[in-house]
Chains A and B, each alone.
Chain A
Amino acid sequence: MDNLRIRILKDKIFSFLVVILAFLACLPLFLILGFIIRNGALSINLDFFIHLPKPVGVEGGGISNAIVGTFIIVFIAFIIATPFAIFAGIYLSENRKNLLAEIMRVSVDILASIPSIVIGIIAYLWIVKPMKSFSALSAGVALAIIMLPVVIKSTEETLAMIPYSLKEASFALGVPYYRTILKVIFPAGLSGVITGILIAISRIAGETAPLLFTAFGNPFMNLNITKPMNTITLVVFNYSTSPYEQWHKIAWAASLVLLIIVLGFNLLSRIISRKWKVKF
C-alpha cells in the first residue's frame, strides 16, 4: 500500500516538473517581447520610418533606408527562389520513387542544413568577388539559397498529399499532363505552397549572418541593387553592439519593427493555411 502511495507521489512530482519546465521555457518569449515592445515603443515615432540614420551625438534619426533595403533584398530573393523552388517541388512530388529524385531530396536536405553564414560566404564568392562590390543583389542571392529548400519542401509535401483521383479526373477529360499539374494539382495545393513561401520570407527577413559580407550595410538611402544596402537586421546588429546609449534606442526600435515584419508574415501564413484550405 505504501509502495502505491510512493508511486503516485512520484507521478505527481514528475507531472508537476513537466508542466513547470514546459511553461518555464515560454518565459524568454515574454521577456523578449516585453523588453522589445517597452524599449522599442519608447523610441519609435514617425521620424523613425522616414528619416535616415544620424551620426552619434545627434538626436533623432531613423532607419528608412534599412526598411526599404530589407524589402528590396527579400523581394530579390523571392523573385529568384520561388519559380525554381515550385518547379523543383513539382518534380519531387511527381517522382516519388525515382533514384534521381531521391538524390535531389538529399541535396535539398543538405541545402537546408547549411549554416546561413556559410551561404553568405557562397554569395560572396559567387557575386561579390566577381562584381568587386558588396551589393543588395548578392544578399538577395544568399537569401534565395536559404529560401529554396523551405519552399521546395512545403511544395513537395502539399502536392504529394493531393489525392490521385483528382489527377485521374483531369486526365479522363482529355487534359494534357502539364495542364493537369498547373491547373488542377497546383491550385489544389496553392494554399500550402503560399504558406511555405510566407514562412520562408519570414525566415529570411530575419537573417543577419549572410548579409554581413553581402549587403554589408549602408548609412545612406540606396536603391541600386549593385551597391551595398542597409537592412533592419544589420541595424540591430551594428547598433546594439555599439557603445552608444542613443544607438541602443534605435536598435530597440528596429528590433520592434523587425519583429512586427517577421511575425506578421508568420501570422499571415497561418491565416492563409487555415482560410484557404482545400477540402477534398
Chain B
Amino acid sequence: MENNKQQNNKTICHTNPDWSWFARVKAAFGINDIMPDFIFKKIVLICGLFILVMTVMILISLIANSIPSFKTFGIKFFIGKVWDPVFEQYGTLPFIVGTLLTSFLALTITIPFSLAISLYLGGEFIKEKSFFAGFLKNSIDLLSGIPSVVYGFFGLFLIVPIVRYIQIKTGIEPYGVGIFTASIVLSIMIIPFSASLGREVIEMVPAEIKEAGYSLGATRFEVIRHIILPYCKSGITAGILLALGRAIGETMAVTMVIGNSNMMPKNIFSPANTMASIIANEFAEAIKDLHFSSLIGIGVVLFIVTTVISIAGKIIIRKFAIHS
C-alpha cells in the first residue's frame, strides 16, 4: 500500500505534504483539530450568553435600584400628581400623561405621511426604478440618520417660533415649547422608521391578489383600500406599535422642546415633561437617594413598556410574514 502511494506521487509530479505524517506530528504535540473546534464553539457560545446575561443584569440593576422608591410610594408612584424633589414627593403621573400625549399625537401626525411613503415605495406607484423613488428613498434614509439632538436644535429654532406665532394668533399662552411642539419634532423623527416598516409590510402583499383586483377593473385606489390595506392590517398595526415604542423612548429632541415643566399638562400646548426627558433633566443632579431611586423607577417603567411593545410588534410582524 505504501508502494502505491509513492507511485502516485511520482505520476503527479509534485510532492505534497503527507497527511498521515502531518497528523502524527500534531498528535505527538497533543494538538488535534477537535480541540480548537471545541474552544471556538465555546467562545462563540459564551459571547452569545454574555448578551443574554447582560440583558437580564440590566433589568435586575434597574429594579434593585428603584425598589426604595416603589416601597415608599407604592401605587402613588404611578398616580401621584406631584413631583417635587424639595419636599421628596415623587408622583410620576404628569410624566406618564406627558409621554402618552406626545407619543400618540406624534403617531397621529406620522401615520398619513408614513403610509403615503410606504405605498409609494412599496411598489404601488412606481413600477421600476424611477428618479423620484430613489430621491424619496435616499431622503428618508438621510432623515433616519440625523442625530436626535440635531432634531431638537432644529425644533428649537424653527418649530418653536412657528408654534409660538400660531399661539399668539389664536390667543393661547405663547410658550412656543410644549407637548404640541414636541409631537411635531417627534413625528418628523419617526416617519423614516415607520415608513420603512410599512414599506416592508406592503411589499409582502402577493402580486397575484393585487392583480386579481386590477383584473376585475378596480382602480388603484380601490385595490389599495379594499385589498392591500386589509391584507396588511396586522403588519401595519405592528408597525405603529414599534413606532410608538420608539416615540416613548425618544429623549433628546423631546427634552429640548417640551418646556420641562413638572406640572400636570393642562392641554396639548402646555409645557410638560416625558418620562425620558425628566430623567435627562434631573438624573445628573439627583443627590437625594429617593430622588435617584424614583428616576430609576421611571427608567424601569420605560424599559418594561418599550420591551413589551417591541416584542408584541415583532411577534405580530413575524406572524404576518409567515402568513404571507
How long is the Cα–Cα vector from A126 to B37 in the complex, in angstroms? 34
Do A121 and B279 touch across chains, with their CB atoms under 8 A apart? Answer: yes
A236 to B157, CA, bound (A): 13
Query: What residues on B are CB-neighbors of A207 within 8 Å?
Result: 147-148
**B 148-161 binary contact with A (CB < 8 Å = 1; else 0):** 11111110111000
Q: Are A208 and B147 in contact (CB under 8 A)?
A: yes
Picked from B45, B139, B152, B249, the residue with its CB within 8 Å of the CB of A240 is B152
In the complex, are the beta carbons of B284 and A110 less than 8 A apart? no
Instruction: Say whether B116 faces chain A, with CB atoms less than 8 Å apart.
Output: yes
Interchain CA distance A100-B296 in the complex, whole Å? 30
B236 within 8 A of A: no
> Which residues of A have CB within 8 Å of B284?
212-213, 216
Is A188 interfacial (CB 8 A cutoff)? Answer: no
- Contacts known (A31-B154, A206-B150, A208-B148); A121 close to B62, Cβ less than 8 A: yes
**In chain B between 237 and 262, which residues have their CB closer than 8 angstroms to a CB of chain A?**
245, 248-252, 255-256
- Compute how far the CA of A110 lies from the CA of B50 in the bound complex, rounded to whole angstroms: 14
Check if B117 sits within 8 Å of A113, measured CB to CB.
Answer: no
B 16-45 contacts with A by CB, 8 A: 19, 33-34, 36-37, 39-41, 43-45
CB pair A15–B221 under 8 Å, yes or no, is yes
Contact in complex: A35, B157 (CB < 8 Å): yes
The smallest beta-carbon distance between B3 and chain A, in angstroms, is: 24
Q: Looking at A21, A108, A174, which has the most chain B CB atoms within 10 Å of its CB?
A: A21
Assess whether B113 is in contact with A21, with CB atoms less than 8 Å apart: yes
Whole-angstrom CA separation of A181 from B36 in the bound complex? 12
* A233 with B136: CB separation less than 8 A: no
Say yes or no: B276 contacts A209, CB within 8 Å.
Answer: yes
Could you say which of B36, B37, B299 contacts A117, with CB atoms under 8 Å apart? B299
Q: Which residue on A lies nearest to B192, using beta carbons?
A: A25
The A19-42 residues at the B interface (CB cut-off 8 A) are 19-26, 28-29, 31-32, 35-36
Q: Does B307 contact A (CB under 8 A)?
A: yes
A94-B44, A126-B61, A240-B153 known; A258+B314 contact, CB < 8 A: no
Q: Is A71 an interface residue (CB 8 A)?
A: no
Residue of B nearest to A30 (CB): B139
Q: Known interface pairs A15-B220, A118-B303, A262-B145. Does A209 touch B251 (Cβ–Cβ under 8 Å)?
A: yes
Quick one: CB contact mask for B51-82 with A, threshold 8 Å, 1 for yes?
11011101001100100000000000000000
What separation, in Å, do the CA atoms of A117 and B251 have in the docked complex? 7
Scoring B residues 92 to 104 as 1 if CB is less than 8 Å from chain A, else 0, what string do you get? 0000000000000
B41 and A177 contacting across the interface, CB-CB below 8 Å: yes
Q: How large, as a class, is the contact surface on chain B?
A: 35 or more
Residues of chain B within 8 A of A14, CB atoms compared: 220-221, 224
Give the CA-CA distance A123 to B281 in the complex, in Å: 17
- In A95-133, the 8 Å CB interface with B consists of 100-101, 103-104, 106-118, 120-122, 124-126
Instruction: Contact check, B36 vs A87: say whether CB atoms are below 8 A apart.
Output: no
Task: Count A/B pairs, Cβ under 8 Å.
Answer: 253
Chain B residues whose CB sits within 8 angstroms of the CB of A252 once the complex forms: 153
Q: Is B324 an interface residue (CB 8 A)?
A: no
B62 near A122 (CB under 8 angstroms)? yes
User: In whole Å, how far is B231's beta carbon from the nearest beta carbon of chain A?
Assistant: 18
- Select A87's contact among B44, B61, B191, beta carbons within 8 Å: B44
> B87 on the interface (CB 8 Å rule)?
no
Within the assembled complex, what's the spacing in Å between the Cα atoms of A11 and B142?
A: 31
Report B298-324 CB contacts with A as 1/0, cut-off 8 Å.
010011001101110010000000000
Chain A residues with CB below 8 A from B120, complex form: 18-19, 22
A255 within 8 A of B: yes
Shortest distance from the beta carbon of A99 to any chain B beta carbon, whole Å: 12
A176: CB under 8 A from chain B?
yes
Bound together, the chains give a CA A24 to CA B276 distance in angstroms of: 29
Give residues 196-234 of B contacting A (CB, 8 Å). 219-222, 224
Q: Using an 8 Å CB-CB cutoff, how does the interface string of B106-131 with A read, 1 for contact, 0 for none? A: 00000011111101110001000000
A110 and B116 within 8 A (CB): no
Smallest Cβ-Cβ distance to B58: which chain A residue: A122
Closest chain B residue to A202 by CB distance?
B145
- Contacts A104-B52, A208-B149 known; list 7 others, CB within 8 Å: A25-B114, A29-B146, A88-B51, A117-B279, A122-B58, A176-B36, A212-B280
CB within 8 Å of B: which residues of A? 7-8, 10-11, 14-15, 17-26, 28-29, 31-32, 35-36, 83-84, 87-88, 90-92, 94, 100-101, 103-104, 106-118, 120-122, 124-126, 145, 148, 152, 174, 176-178, 181-182, 202, 205-209, 212-213, 216, 233, 236-237, 240-241, 248, 251-252, 255, 258-259, 262-263, 266
15 A-B pairs whose Cβ atoms sit less than 8 Å apart in the complex: A21-B117, A28-B154, A35-B158, A87-B47, A91-B47, A110-B310, A113-B245, A114-B249, A114-B306, A176-B33, A176-B34, A181-B40, A182-B40, A209-B255, A237-B152
